[in-house]
């Protein structure tokens, strides 16, 4: 069963939420984890791709769109908006960072699932729904409060 983590921001800024996601991805990358970032659609994927290049002056997270054969790709971080995800994805990545609104049971096939939630009312409500979904499907989600970052 996947280890599910909800990282909660006190501010209601999508920009802060996405930057926090970048920071969590960078931390996982530095620990040697392979991360799949699952986004809502192609526009969100493109915007997040750009953000991963620019979110920090000293940051570098090698990434690319999800490869046809993700396991053989050298990129430790890959981005996808495919729905559903390819069946090979859970075996190619330890961590799934999902920035999607709707939950999916495929997430539970990863070793670790990371969600980032800000204080926006709609995103917070959708996050609660996903928390319940994971719990109802056998996971024990945990939550961590994230401190606001400058910049």
Would you put residue 145 in left (φ > 0), alpha (ψ -120 to 50) or beta?
Answer: beta
Q: What is this structure's pTM?
A: 0.95
pLDDT class of 97 with cuts at 50, 70, 90: very high
Gap between the terminal Cα atoms of the chain: 36
The residue extents of the domains of the chain are 3-146
Q: What is the CATH number of domain 3-146?
A: 3.40.50.10110
Q: How far is CA 145 from CA 43, 73, 100, 137, in A?
A: 28, 33, 20, 24
Helix, strand, or coil (residue 36): strand
Looking at residue 121, its pLDDT comes to 96
- Rounded average pLDDT over 25-31: 96
pLDDT class of 47 with cuts at 50, 70, 90: very high
- CA dihedral (85, 90, 95, 100) in degrees, to 10, reads 20
149 has pLDDT over 80 = no
Looking at residue 42, its pLDDT comes to 97
């Amino acid at each position: 069963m996947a280890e599910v983590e909800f990282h909660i921001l006190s501010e209601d800024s999508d920009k802060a939420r996405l930057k926090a996601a970048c920071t969590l991805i960078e931390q996982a990358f530095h620990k040697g984890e392979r991360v799949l970032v699952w986004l809502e659609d192609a526009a969100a994927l493109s915007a997040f791709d750009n953000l991963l290049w620019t979110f920090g002056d000293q940051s570098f997270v090698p990434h690319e769109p999800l490869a046809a054969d993700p396991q053989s790709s050298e990129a430790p971080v890959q981005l996808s908006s495919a729905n559903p995800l390819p069946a090979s994805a859970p075996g190619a990545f330890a961590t799934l960072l999902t920035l999607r609104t709707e939950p999916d049971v495929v997430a539970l096939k990863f070793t670790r699932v990371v969600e980032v939630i800000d204080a926006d009312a709609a995103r917070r409500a959708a996050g609660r729904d996903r928390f319940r979904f994971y719990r109802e499907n056998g996971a024990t989600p945990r939550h961590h409060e994230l401190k606001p970052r400058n910049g």
